[in-house]
Amino acid sequence: MTRAKSIPDTMTIHVPFRVVKRGGRKEMQLPEGAAQPRKPDNTLIKALARAFRWKRMLETGEYATIADLAEREGIAPSYMTRVLRLTLLAPDIVEAILDGKQGPLVTLVRVLEPFPANWDSQASELPRPVTIQEPQTLP
CA distance 105 to 115: 14
What is the length of the chain? 139
Residue 133 has pLDDT above 50, yes or no: no
Report pLDDT for 107.
86
pTM of the model: 0.65
Residue 106: per-residue pLDDT: 83
Q: Which amino acid is at 66?
A: I
10 domain residue, yes or no = no
Q: Which domain holds residue 64?
A: 39-125
Count how many domains the chain has. 1
Q: Answer yes or no: is 137 within a domain.
A: no
Does the residue 14 lie in any domain?
Answer: no
The answer to whether 57 and 63 are in contact (CB under 8 A) is yes
pLDDT higher at 20 or 53: 53
pLDDT exceeding 90 applies to what percent of the chain? 37
